[in-house]
Amino acid sequence: MEILAFGVQADEKPLIEEAFAGHHEVRCLDVLLNEDTAPIAAGHEIVSSSVNAELGGRVLEILAAGGTRMVAQRSTGFNNIDLDAAERLGMTVARVSYYSPYAVAEFAWTLAMAVNRRIVRASIRTRDFDFRLDGLMGRDLHGRTAGVLGTGKIGEAFARIAHGFGMRLLGWDIAENPACMQLGMTYVPKEQLLAESDLITLHVPLMPQTQHLIDAAALKSMKDDAILVNSSRGGLIDTAALVAELREGRFTGVGLDVYEAEAGLFFLDRSLEAVDDDTLARLVTFPNVLVTSHQAYYTRDAVGQIVETTVKNVLDYRAGRRSENVLVPRS
């Protein structure tokens, strides 16, 4: 049986091919899975999708009509998948429920430090042999307050690093994490966390309840010199409202590895095309904003775990087994 894998990055391809060797043949495509590319999967019982795949009802119908019976998504989040449609079509859907939390937490800290210490601006200057320090002044984070929205495995890993910096820790989640409390974290209402934190980081899943968790009111409640980092899902932040606050000169820095309208942009080379997303175009012009292309998870360790779990999900499906990774079971 040949597995068809969509949205495979060049660095990811050898890991996928090695992991599937001895189990199933796998064909890797660099195109993302969406309504235009779904017909390619005709004749393939199993397809594997990437985090930015568009798996709404129409795409799933096209896949099902072509004989696809399982979608193995290579990511934790599944807000891009119409699970009701998958169940109606009798399709099995599985995800990767766990991979290295350190990959994302460390990258969130990379964004925070880069905007705080003006690393991108400094690098651009020195390439032009401009070694002035004007406009590059950052601040110590030791003794300041880090607010962690979402204190699961990734939030906990972020908090451990913040603890190492000697920061005061505030947390917000539906359930308290004992490991975070042992670090000295105090759980407070979201409004208090936003108002008191110097560094705010988002590590919650995207669902209807968290859509625009950071809306216009939340942004206005933050300190004018706060640092905001999002390495979770773009829809957690109302980007238009964020742009409006940035135009007022607010925030020391904003680091975004995700963007709410990233589908069709991220993971692709659009450098020779006119991008018609005015909000994103404005966002990247601010000198205190750093946008990266959903790469926080992208370490050899994390991708290796993702690929290994994807292979396990496929083997479980073939054997009729069910695991915690299955979102829609085999009918």
Asked if the model's pLDDT at residue 330 lies above 80, the reply is: no
Name the DSSP letter for residue 174: S
Listing from the earlier edge strand, what are the strands of the sheet with 70-73? 25-28, 2-5, 46-49, 70-73, 92-94, 326-328
**Mean pLDDT, the chain, as a whole number?**
95
Q: Is 171:193 a contact under the CB 8 Å cutoff? A: yes
Dump pLDDT digits (tens) for 188-247: 999 999 999 999 999 999 999 999 999 999 999 999 999 999 999 999 999 999 999 999
Dump pLDDT digits (tens) for 120-134: 999 999 999 999 999
Dump pLDDT digits (tens) for 39-48: 999 999 999 9
Dump pLDDT digits (tens) for 109-121: 999 999 999 999 9
For the chain, give the percent of residues with pLDDT over 90: 92
Q: Is 265:66 a contact under the CB 8 Å cutoff? A: no
Q: Which two tokens stand for residue 310?
A: 């994807």
Reported confidence tier of residue 79, pLDDT bands at 50, 70, 90: confident
Which pLDDT value is given to residue 331? 65
Q: What is the pTM of this model?
A: 0.92
Residue 324 bears catalytic tag? no
Partner residues linked to 145 by β-bridges = 168
- 95, 203, 233, 250: which is the annotated catalytic residue? 233
For the residues 253-280, what does the mean pLDDT come to? 91
- 44, 95, 203, 294: which is the annotated catalytic residue? 294
Spatial distance between the Cα atoms of 97 and 238, rounded to a whole number of angstroms:
26
Asked if the model's pLDDT at residue 34 lies above 90, the reply is: yes
Residue by residue, DSSP assigns 104-136 as HHHHHHHHHHHHHTTHHHHHHHHHTT----TT-
Q: Is 72:46 a contact under the CB 8 Å cutoff? A: yes
For the residues 137-147, what does the mean pLDDT come to? 98
Reported confidence tier of residue 264, pLDDT bands at 50, 70, 90: confident
SS3 at position 3: strand
Residue 262 bears catalytic tag? yes
Which pLDDT value is given to residue 267? 85
Tell me the backbone φ, ψ of residue 219, rounded to 5 degrees: -65, -40
Asked if the model's pLDDT at residue 266 lies above 80, the reply is: yes
Which pLDDT value is given to residue 152? 97
